[in-house]
Amino acid sequence: MVFSSGGVARVSTLDVAYVVPPWRAVWIPPAVQHAATVLENAQLHSVYLLPTGRLDWQECRVIEVEPLLRELILALSEQDAEPGDAGRYRSLCSLTLAELRRAPSLPLGIALPKERRLRAFCESFLNDPALDRSLASLAHEAGASVSTIHRLFRQGIGSSFSDWRQQVLLARALTLAAKGMSMGQISDELGYSSASAFSAMVMRLVGVPPSKLLLQRGMKTGLHA
């Protein structure tokens, strides 16, 4: 499990990229090839679990890290350096597993296709995400027609370009929020006509307002619903 206590990181597998904003974590099942990239001054912590079947999650997921789970993760890191108290370590592990099982998940994954043209298309948008980047220009850069891109999205990702783009824009918003931008600044940066339009997109995707999703706990921010 990769946890970000500050800043933003991206955890990528062969098929999906997961954004790790503050106070969230990505659970990665055994034998899943992955890489972690720091996007914005991330403070990353990792927890490794033995594959004993204690967690039956078969796919990667982004989870909320509540204050208790955060302190348990930090305590486990310190306990590694002082392994004398085996009983305390076992108790910390047991409570950490209990908190992991009850942690709510968030739909923050970005599907990554394998098809060459669509992969180039998606990577181009990932590198410079904005609502006003036209589908036609992106398709031209990838060497494909607009109709081909629509077809490849349905076949390779199982969604429309519009739905996939919203996930990417949400991921970009998390990075901008970590820089201290207000909701108005974020919506302008992403090309939305207003902060309320951006807020509606976030609510539609994850079911919580931006003020909750983008807030880094324990720190003041200019974000507001």
pLDDT digits (tens, 9 = 90+) for 105-115: 888 889 988 88
pLDDT digits (tens, 9 = 90+) for 119-137: 888 988 988 899 888 888 8
What pLDDT score does 186 carry?
92
> Are the CB atoms for 6 and 174 separated by under 8 Å?
no
Q: What mean pLDDT value characterizes the chain?
A: 84
pLDDT at 74 exceeding the cut of 70: yes
Sign of CA dihedral 138, 136, 143, 154: positive
**DSSP-derived pairing of the beta strands 8-12 and 35-40:** antiparallel
Report, as an integer, the average pLDDT of 156-163: 90
The runs of H, that is alpha helices, within 179-221 are: 183-190, 195-206, 210-213
- Structural domains of the chain sorted by starting position, each given as residue range(s) with its CATH number in brackets: 2-106 (no CATH), 115-213 (1.10.10.60)
pTM here is 0.77
pLDDT at 85 exceeding the cut of 60: yes
